[in-house]
Amino acid sequence: MTFRLALITLLAAAPARAAAPEPTVLQARAFIDRAERTLEDLNTKDNFANWAYATYIIYDTEKLVADADRAYAAETAKLAEEARRYEKLELPADVRRKILLLKLSVSAPAPRDPRDQKELADIQAWLQGEYGKGKYCRTPQMCLTLSDMEDVLRDSRDPKELLDVWQGWRTVSPPMRKKYERFVELSNKGARDLGFADAGALWRSRYDMPPSGFTAELDRLWEQLKPLYDSLHAYVRSRLIEKYGAEAVGADGLIPAHLLGNMWAQSWENIGPLAAPPASDPGYDLTKILEGRKTDERQMVRIGEGFFTSLGFDPLPQTFWERSLFTKPRDREVVCHASAWDVENSQDLRIKMCIKPNAEDFITIHHELGHNFYQRAYAAQPFLFRGSANDGFHEALGDTIALSVTPEYLKQIGLLDAVPGAEGDLGLLMKMALERVAFLPFGLMVDRWRWKVFSGEVKPEGYNKAWWDLAAQYQGVKPPAPRSETDFDPGAKYHVAANVPYTRYFLAHVLEFQFYRALCKQTGHTGPLHRCSFYSDKKAGERLNKMMALGASRPWPDALEAMTGSRKMDASAVSDYFAPLKSWLDSENAKRKKTGSAPY
């Protein structure tokens, strides 16, 4: 017998190797329990590192946060890959949902290769650091921070000065372009490792529906909102023409971005005096009231906390007051962008904010504390369920509270002696529209751009053009100076540099009005919707808590139903809120068009 024949005979006689046993439901539950313990520990370490970096931007903290981000992302990717072996089982609903959330939990999923993981984490830390340290230096001795430039856009009406700082801030982002291109490649690689077409498809899968279905849902909501936005845009454009002249604005129907009072033209409230209706004085100036009372940063936060305690929630822990950042330090660089933090499973809640005693920050404080109280409400949930029903809910909750900062509320807490009459309501609604309604298309376009970039529809050589094409399509806004592909204007927006998904803010601006309308009905409010405050209504607090306590344990329609009684997102509440303003805008636009006083 030949050696080969003998070998074949021997192999044939040998018992077959046993196939790997199929996984069981018990093993799936044991796996997800282990995954949650592991990720909770890494998440806490990552939170501490990110807090240190955001409040003390130096080389050392950049390295620490890159390592912590990489460790968390790598472990998440590894566990998400391991979880795929259980997906074909008939799993209990909670285990199946946790496995899905595990796969979707990282915005920049780490690839399998450790070298790629390190590179991705390093790029993320570098991009955020470049943004946080960004300055525009007119001369070596005269450098402006983003905050300085935002002050100019808020206060100045000199178009040359506005253009200077608008262009100046965008000198920060071109160095990010190549790194961002590589970031996209690595994020897509990680997403594909998890079974998604690209990182954008992964993001859109977070909404309890197929990615294409979610895109259609956004289109439906935008169609509900567009008539109101178009009315506001036409009116504001005509007022800008009156201020700066037709030549400065142009005849293409678009608005030059630097004239709208905001670095990204995402919010227009800073041009309120230009756009205000006649006789629109609300009867008070909250900024002057705060300044006149010498209300400091901590007192402003105490007032915000008081809104929540009036609804029946417990006060914030003492550690919140000891560990939060309320003012910009003079001795170091920090990320001043306001944010709320759950550093250690609701045991260590904080906010990070460079507070100024003005109306804008007063409202922002109420918003950020909404995140903190939401975080505490779902603290009893397992780790993977500690989050909002979808990411729009978290933002919407804070904005819902901010909507309740009405003259009625300000009187209740003693900041106003009397509630002004209805004659100033158009002015208040215009102010709110310049902030909330003006934001809506920007809230859509940021991620529309990124989804196109992640999918490859927009190539690196077309990054900047695609950004401004979308700005024209959705916002009706154009750059005030020529832009080219040597620029990288998307990187001049924090959420792009820091890779924070942005559609959540669009959803929030829909859901907040839907939440607000439901809570106002709870109080029995019968007047104009914009006049409602649910401050001190304990039943409203109970309804809020019922929704918040669910965390991410149920699909978002369940949480929406708990709050509003409806399982469908509905932008009609936005129309209800702004109905008096919409009627007035349409009348004004018709008059201007008829007389030819402003071209459209």
At 124-174, the pLDDT tens digits run 999 999 998 999 999 989 999 998 999 999 999 999 999 999 999 999 999
Contact 116, 73 (CB under 8 A): no
Structure tokens, 593 = 């068009």
Contact 282, 424 (CB under 8 A): yes
Run of H or E residues at 137: strand 135-139
Mean pLDDT of all residues in 449-467: 98
User: pLDDT of 201-247, one tens digit each?
Assistant: 999 999 999 999 999 999 999 999 999 999 999 999 999 999 999 99
pTM flag (> 0.75): yes
d(CA 528, CA 509): 19
Written as one letter, the residue type at 393 is F
* Three-state SS at 139: strand
Please report, rounded to a whole number, the percentage of residues in the chain having pLDDT higher than 90.
Answer: 83
pLDDT of res. 18: 53
User: pLDDT of 34-60, one tens digit each?
Assistant: 999 999 999 999 999 999 999 999 999
Catalytic residue positions, numbered: 337-338, 367-368, 371, 395, 495, 505
Structure tokens, 135 = 């300055």
Classify 332 in phi/psi space as left (phi over 0), alpha (psi -120 to 50) or beta: beta
Classify 348 in phi/psi space as left (phi over 0), alpha (psi -120 to 50) or beta: beta
d(CA 53, CA 65): 7
Spatial neighbors of 595 by CB under 8 A, at least 6 apart, are none
Cα distances (angstroms) measured from residue 82 to each of 23, 247, 256, 476, 499: 11, 61, 50, 46, 25
544 has pLDDT over 60: yes
Q: How far is CA 188 from the centre of its chain?
A: 21
d(CA 70, CA 113): 12
Q: How many CB atoms lie within 10 A of CB 108?
A: 20
d(CA 311, CA 366): 13
Locate all alpha helices (DSSP H) within 386-424, ordered by sequence: 391-403, 407-412
